[in-house]
Every structure is written in structure tokens, then in C-alpha cells.
């Protein structure tokens, strides 16, 4: 048995499954990319572990991000779910909110609910807003639902009763009655999924959890069974949460909704670790893969996050890292409409893939354009596993160019310019539209295609620095190794802030922290590794929406918290009302369990391919360009453009007038040279 022990993460994507492995003693990291196996994602993970870790080595920690739940939602392939609610409130989920999301669109329709009116059942019961019981639960009404479940084959039941977040007794009693008669049906309770006010939003969240529960649980069970021989002893499988933390597979099975965005958030958490290491407090993190382009922010060293989100037009009450996604990736298809060129959101996927894959694709893509311009090496993509056919790409791009009187190279540059403009607009959506100046940020580019487009994006947005992190094509998986166990607890507490006694607030926070401590201990976290972060939702009296404000631990300074809200409101909206009344809506506690991990996370040394040169197109003309292996770039070494830096997970483009410098942690910093400025 080898003395080597590893920490491993896996990011399961549509085309590739990325594996990052870290030596437990030295902290050195390596990466591998394995073609995904959509029919059974565990197969690619197992193959990746075999590739990355010796068979006789031990595994101390294993975490992965999954899009199984998200894909089930996007494709509407979740479980058939029934909704149980309070009598006379059957239409809450069908009517939805009273707001129109796109007020000027004549084509806007309300999103299709996950459970129709015919799948909604009611029970006689009533709990008042203060939690007192007005009408006892009539369990006889539940027999109608039992018969319907057997007849219609419901796989899940979502129970959301009025004011259950104040008093869960009726939901628990209904669950017990139904579980005894329907033992194979998953049951979701609103007070456990989201103990928070706003009836439609809470109902939507509960139904979505029920819709995903059987799908996610089956997937996790399969993965655990097939990885059983390689999983860490007494630790098992961990899954990324949408809030940027990790949880055990057992917790993920109980709370499947928390896995919904677990795939993309790894990159944002990696950005947080990069911020801490490099001292760059403000980062724009962009992940460009084969199909999508994900953008997120690190502000003052922390990922931008929200306490709610919208998915498929339906509200979800849960803490999430803010990620803006558009259809723009290396596989995005170039096409024509009304005499103009378009790129994306349609993607060639992995089958047939871009034309240059030689698997039957006929429509040019971004990857084809980069190959035509000489920016990709057909024999080294990625790591020699795939060979690209430049002649096929030039033929497809040239045919499209002929429609506009352009040759293949001119059309290829046009495709790249269009996709860069789309990605720049996506970044403006999360910066300029929120009153944030992107020029105050560094751009962190990762994903298989991100580093090739990063410098052009930076020029479009007038950003001065681009950072290409270690293992950029697998950076989301790298980020998963930098996180901790985390779960969020909340309680609706409504009233005017200045009318609460700090002692009452302290008692409520301590109760939430007690729940958090119990959760973390059950997850195997030691008492000394537990910490908490407090916050609360505030709004001015008479307003609808809230801002979440951190509250320092210890004695609560009521005036200081109020001042923090005024300042945050001014930053967000450009004005504030310090004399106005402020309402508090919810108290929140993030329970965090610090995981033991090596301080070092630099890339492992590998063989260095000799430097060479080829002709590459920049701004319409060819330039002799140095091709350099990233493994050969030492600390503080500089590479002047034009240059292409290759590695096994991505290709980094350093255009003329740019310079790449190796910085702390093995990351690369790209900036404009003085001559180009």
C-alpha cells in the first residue's frame, strides 16, 4: 500500500469530466480531463481517478459538482410531483406572483409550473401568522391524495401549508400519515426546505425540491455504489452546494435542491482562493467551456451571492453564488440571419461537435474559427486526446465567409469578434448595470476556451489585468478543493429594527447557531473547526425587496447595523434614507466547518515540450508566434506576445502588445505592455 494520500475533486461536464488531485502532504495539484459518460457519469469519474491516482494510494477527501438536478429542471425530466397545500389556497402555485418579469414583452408568458392544478391537493387545516392553530389538521382529507398517488404514479409529494414556517406541526403530521401509506414516495416539507415567508416563493421552492429529489437521490446512490471501493474511509462522497460550500452525499440526498448549481460554483470559490493568495480583492471570474459562458464576481475577497434566485422563471429561496450564464462557448455555432452573422447560443456539443472534430459536424463554431486563425494546435487538444482537422474547419468557415465576401481567416476573426462582444455584454450585465466599474477588477479566465479569449475581452472592457489560473480548463474542480462544509439556516422575524431588543435578536441567532452546530457535527466536523456568519434581511418601510447585511458576532450594535444598511443601500441604488424606518424580515446564519487542507495548492511539475513557432492571425494579419509549454515558465518569468502558452487543459493567447508573468501560486498574470498602452 502506497503512503501517498490524495484529495480529489471532479467536475462533471457535458463534454469532459475534469479531475483535480492534490497530494495530501505537499499540496501539489495535478489535473486530468476525461470524456464524460452522460448515461452513467460515475464511469468517467472512476476512469479519471484511475488516471490521476495510483491504485494503491489512499483518498482522504473526495468532492464533486454535478449538473444532474439542473439538467433535470432545464429539460423538464424531473419526478412527477404532487403538491399539498391548505384548503382554499390551491391556486397559489398556479397563479404565481403578481409581477410581470418582462413588462414590455408581448410574447412573455408565465413560466410553466412543475406541478399543475390537477396535481394540487388541499387539506383542511389552518395555522395563524403567529403560529397558533386555528383549525386542526383533518387527516381524512389526505386519503384523496393517497389514492391519486397510487393511481397517477407520483414519485414525490411537496407539502406547503400556510405559515408552516411558524409552526411545522401540521406538515409533520401530514408527512407521517402519508409516509405510512406511501412508503416509496419522496416527501418534501416546506418548513425544512425554506422556513421563510412569501407563500408563492416558498411553495415554488418546495415543489422544485420534490421535483428533483428522486432524480438526484438515484444519481447519488449510483455514484456512491460505484465509487465505494475508492471513497475515503469514514468520509464518503461530498457534493458542492449552490452556496459555495460542500456537504455529504447523505445530506445532499436529504436536501437535493442545494445541489442545483453545484457545477458552476466551483470556479467562483476558486476565485475566492485566488483572491486571498494574490491580494487581488476584486475579480471578474469567467468560465468559457464548450457550450456556456459563466460570469461571477469576487468583491472585497468574497463571492457575490444572493439569498434567492430564479430558475426557469420560478423563484427559489436558497443561498446561491451569483452566476450569470449565456450560451457562448467553444462549440457555439456560427450562423446567418437576415443577412447578418450570429454566433450561439446553439452549440455543436460533443457529438458531432465542431467541424474540426471530424465527427460529422458541418456548421462552423468558435473552436473552428480559432483553429483557422492558428490559435489552436490540432495535434494538442486537449493533451493530445483529440486531433483537430484544420482543413475541415477552413472549408466550413470559408463557405460562411463567402456569403459576406470574406476569406476563411476574415470570417474566423469575425466569429471571434462576435462571441467576444456577447461575452463582454454578459460581463456588463453583472457590473455596469449594477453600478460597478469593470475597470476596477482583474479578469480571471478559465474553462477550456476562456484563456484564448481573455485578452480580447479585457481590451473590450478596458480591464488592465487578466489572470489565467493554474489548470484553467479544470479550475472549477480546483476550486472545489478550496472550500469548506457549509449550510445556511434562516428564520423569518418581521418588525421594525429599532423596536427589537438586542437580547431577543441574540437569542434567535444563538438558536440558529445551535441548529448549525448540530448539522456540522453530524457531517463529521470537529468542534474546533466550527464557525458562524450572521446576517439579516433589511428594507425601508413600505418597500418590497430586501438587502442582506452582515452582522458581526457578539453583542449587536443596533445603530451600527442600521448604518451598514443605509450605506449598502446607497451603494446599490445611489441614494439612502437614514431618517426612514427600517424593517427586518429574516435572520440568517451560515454554519461553516473548516476542512483541513494543505496551504500549498501549486501545480505539479511536468515534462516540458520544446518551444517552437508558427504563424498565427491577430487583427487580420499573420504574426510569427512563439508556442510555449506552461510547465516551462518559472516563477516571475515573463512571456511577451505574440505567444501561445499551451498546457493539458487549455490554451492561453498572449496577443501582440501583451505580456504574461508567472505570479504566486503558479498563476499567470497578463497585462498590456507600455508600448501598447
Angle between helices 199-226 and 41-52 in degrees, nearest 10: 50
Residue 247 DSSP SS3? strand
pLDDT, tens digit (0-9, with 9 covering 90-100), for 124-160: 999 999 999 999 999 999 999 999 999 999 999 999 9
Q: What are phi and psi of 191, to 5 degrees?
A: -70, -20
Q: What is the reported pLDDT for 677? A: 47
Q: Is the pLDDT of residue 442 over 60?
A: yes
Structural contact between residues 445 and 457, judged by C-beta atoms closer than 8 angstroms: yes
Residue with more model confidence, 288 or 232:
288
Q: What is the reported pLDDT for 384? A: 47
- Cα distance between residue 203 and residue 96, in whole Å: 10
Q: Is the pLDDT of residue 233 over 70?
A: no
Q: What is the reported pLDDT for 69? A: 84
Angle, CA 432 vertex, CA 426 and CA 435 arms, to 5°: 140
Q: What is the reported pLDDT for 66? A: 82
Calculate the alpha carbon distances from 580 to 134, 299, 473, 560, 573 in Å: 36, 28, 49, 15, 16
Q: Is the pLDDT of residue 35 over 80?
A: no
Residue with more model confidence, 149 or 264:
149
Structural contact between residues 623 and 415, judged by C-beta atoms closer than 8 angstroms: no
The CB density around residue 277, as the number of other CB atoms within 10 Å, is: 18
Question: Mean per-residue pLDDT for 41-45?
Answer: 81
Selection from 224-238, 512-526, 603-617 with the highest mean pLDDT: 512-526
The CB density around residue 440, as the number of other CB atoms within 10 Å, is: 13
> Among residues 536, 629, 627, which one has the least CA distance to residue 583?
536
Among 2-11, 120-129, 440-449, 455-464, whose mean pLDDT is lowest? 2-11
pLDDT band at 221 (very low <50, low <70, confident <90, very high): confident
Q: What is the percent of the chain where pLDDT is above 90?
A: 61
Q: What is the percent of the chain where pLDDT is above 70?
A: 96
Q: What is the reported pLDDT for 347? A: 83
- Cα distance between residue 384 and residue 402, in whole Å: 32
Q: What is the reported pLDDT for 200? A: 94
> Among residues 176, 163, 154, which one has the least CA distance to residue 126?
163
- Cα distance between residue 178 and residue 185, in whole Å: 9
Question: Mean per-residue pLDDT for 511-522?
Answer: 96
Q: Determine whether 225 is exposed, middle or buried from the number of CB atoms within 10 Å of its CB (0-12, 13-18, 19+).
A: exposed
Alpha helix (H) ranges present in 580-656?
none
Angle, CA 462 vertex, CA 322 and CA 618 arms, to 5°: 110
Q: What is the reported pLDDT for 397? A: 96
The CB density around residue 632, as the number of other CB atoms within 10 Å, is: 15
Question: Mean per-residue pLDDT for 152-173?
Answer: 96
- Cα distance between residue 639 and residue 661, in whole Å: 6
The CB density around residue 384, as the number of other CB atoms within 10 Å, is: 10
Q: Is the pLDDT of residue 290 over 50?
A: yes
- Cα distance between residue 37 and residue 39, in whole Å: 6
> Among residues 220, 217, 189, which one has the least CA distance to residue 205?
189
- Cα distance between residue 583 and residue 406, in whole Å: 61
Residues near 618 by beta carbon (within 8 Å), at least 6 away in sequence: 642, 655, 656
Q: Is the pLDDT of residue 283 over 70?
A: yes
Residues near 113 by beta carbon (within 8 Å), at least 6 away in sequence: 93, 94, 96, 207, 314
Alpha helix (H) ranges present in 390-488?
390-402, 408-430, 450-461, 475-480
What average pLDDT does the chain have? 89
- Cα distance between residue 28 and residue 22, in whole Å: 6
Which neighbouring-strand residues pair with 467? 444, 669
Q: What is the reported pLDDT for 344? A: 85
Give the dihedral of Cα atoms 169, 171, 176, 177; nearest 10 deg: 110
Q: What is the reported pLDDT for 194? A: 93
pTM: 0.85
Which neighbouring-strand residues pair with 614? 625
111 conformational bin, left if phi > 0, alpha if psi -120 to 50, beta if neither: beta
Structural domains in the chain?
76-217 (3.40.1360), 485-593 (3.30.1490), 618-672 (no CATH)
Cis peptide before 352 (omega within 30 of 0): yes
pLDDT, tens digit (0-9, with 9 covering 90-100), for 304-363: 888 888 888 889 999 999 888 888 888 889 999 988 999 988 888 767 889 998 888 899
Q: What is the reported pLDDT for 599? A: 80
Amino acid at each position: 500500500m502506497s503512503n501517498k494520500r490524495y484529495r480529489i475533486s471532479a467536475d462533471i461536464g457535458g463534454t469532459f469530466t475534469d479531475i483535480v488531485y492534490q497530494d495530501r502532504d505537499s499540496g501539489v495539484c495535478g489535473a486530468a480531463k476525461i470524456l464524460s459518460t452522460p448515461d452513467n457519469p460515475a464511469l468517467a469519474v472512476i476512469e479519471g481517478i484511475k488516471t490521476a491516482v495510483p491504485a494503491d494510494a489512499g483518498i482522504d477527501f473526495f468532492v464533486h459538482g454535478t449538473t444532474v438536478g439542473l439538467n433535470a429542471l432545464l429539460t423538464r425530466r424531473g419526478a412527477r410531483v404532487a403538491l399539498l397545500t391548505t384548503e382554499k389556497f390551491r391556486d397559489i402555485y398556479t397563479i404565481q406572483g403578481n409581477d410581470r418579469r418582462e413588462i414590455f414583452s408581448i410574447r412573455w408568458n408565465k413560466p410553466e409550473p412543475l406541478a399543475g392544478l390537477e396535481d394540487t391537493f388541499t387539506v383542511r387545516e389552518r395555522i395563524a401568522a403567529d403560529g397558533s392553530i386555528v383549525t386542526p389538521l383533518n387527516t381524512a382529507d389526505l386519503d384523496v391524495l393517497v389514492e391519486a398517488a397510487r393511481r397517477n404514479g407520483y414519485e414525490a409529494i411537496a407539502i406547503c401549508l400556510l405559515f408552516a414556517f411558524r409552526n411545522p406541526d401540521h406538515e409533520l403530521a401530514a408527512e407521517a400519515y402519508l409516509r405510512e401509506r406511501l412508503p416509496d414516495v419522496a416527501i418534501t416539507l416546506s418548513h425544512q426546505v425554506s422556513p421563510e415567508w412569501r407563500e408563492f416563493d416558498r411553495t415554488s421552492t418546495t415543489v422544485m425540491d420534490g421535483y428533483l429529489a428522486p432524480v438526484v437521490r438515484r444519481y447519488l446512490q449510483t455514484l456512491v455504489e460505484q465509487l465505494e471501493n475508492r471513497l475515503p474511509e469514514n468520509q464518503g462522497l461530498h457534493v458542492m452546494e449552490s452556496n459555495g460550500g460542500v456537504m455529504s452525499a447523505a445530506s445532499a440526498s436529504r436536501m437535493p435542491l442545494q445541489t442545483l448549481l453545484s457545477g458552476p460554483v466551483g470556479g467562483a470559490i476558486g476565485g475566492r482562493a485566488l483572491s486571498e493568495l494574490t491580494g487581488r480583492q476584486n475579480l471578474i471570474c469567467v468560465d468559457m467551456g464548450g457550450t456556456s459562458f459563466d460570469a461571477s464576481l469576487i468583491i472585497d475577497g468574497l463571492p457575490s451571492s444572493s439569498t434567492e434566485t430564479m430558475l426557469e422563471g420560478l423563484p427559489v429561496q436558497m443561498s446561491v453564488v451569483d452566476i450569470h450564464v449565456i450560451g457562448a462557448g467553444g462549440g457555439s455555432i456560427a450562423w446567418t440571419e437576415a443577412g447578418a452573422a450570429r454566433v450561439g447560443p446553439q452549440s455543436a456539443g460533443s457529438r458531432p461537435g465542431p467541424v474540426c472534430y471530424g465527427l460529422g459536424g458541418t456548421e462552423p463554431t468558435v473552436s473552428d474559427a480559432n483553429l483557422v486563425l492558428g490559435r489552436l494546435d490540432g495535434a494538442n487538444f486537449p493533451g493530445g486526446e483529440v486531433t483537430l482537422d484544420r482543413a475541415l474547419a477552413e472549408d466550413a468557415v470559408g463557405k460562411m465567409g463567402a456569403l459576406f465576401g470574406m476569406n476563411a481567416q476574415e470570417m474566423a476573426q469575425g466569429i471571434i469578434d462576435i462571441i467576444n462582444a456577447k461575452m463582454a455584454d454578459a460581463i456588463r450585465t453583472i457590473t455596469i448595470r449594477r453600478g460597478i466599474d469593470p475597470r476596477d477588477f482583474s479578469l480571471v479566465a478559465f474553462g477550456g476556451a476562456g484563456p484564448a479569449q481573455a485578452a480580447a475581452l479585457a481590451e473590450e472592457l478596458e480591464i488592465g489585468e487578466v489572470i489565467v489560473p493554474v489548470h484553467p480548463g479544470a479550475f472549477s474542480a480546483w476550486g472545489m478543493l478550496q472550500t469548506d462544509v457549509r449550510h445556511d439556516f434562516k428564520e423569518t422575524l418581521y418588525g421594525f429594527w429599532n423596536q427589537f431588543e438586542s437580547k431577543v435578536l441574540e437569542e434567535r441567532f444563538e438558536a440558529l447557531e445551535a441548529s448549525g452546530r448540530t448539522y456540522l457535527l453530524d457531517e463529521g466536523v470537529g468542534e474546533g473547526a466550527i464557525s458562524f456568519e450572521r446576517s439579516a434581511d433589511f428594507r425601508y418601510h413600505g418597500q418590497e425587496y430586501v438587502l442582506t447585511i452582515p452582522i458581526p458576532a457578539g453583542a449587536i450594535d443596533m445603530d451600527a447595523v442600521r448604518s451598514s444598511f443605509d450605506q449598502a443601500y446607497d451603494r446599490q441604488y445611489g441614494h439612502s434614507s437614514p431618517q426612514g424606518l427600517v424593517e427586518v424580515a429574516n435572520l440568517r446564519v451560515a454554519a461553516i466547518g473548516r476542512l483541513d487542507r494543505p496551504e500549498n495548492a501549486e501545480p505539479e511539475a511536468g515534462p516540458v515540450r520544446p518551444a517552437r513557432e508558427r504563424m498565427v492571425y491577430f487583427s487580420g494579419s499573420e504574426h510569427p508566434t512563439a508556442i510555449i509549454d506552461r510547465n516551462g515558465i518559472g516563477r516571475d518569468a515573463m512571456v511577451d506576445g505574440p505567444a501561445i502558452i499551451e498546457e493539458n487543459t487549455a490554451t492561453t493567447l498572449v496577443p501582440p502588445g501583451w505580456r504574461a508573468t508567472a505570479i504566486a501560486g503558479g498563476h499567470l498574470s497578463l497585462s498590456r505592455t507600455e508600448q501598447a498602452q
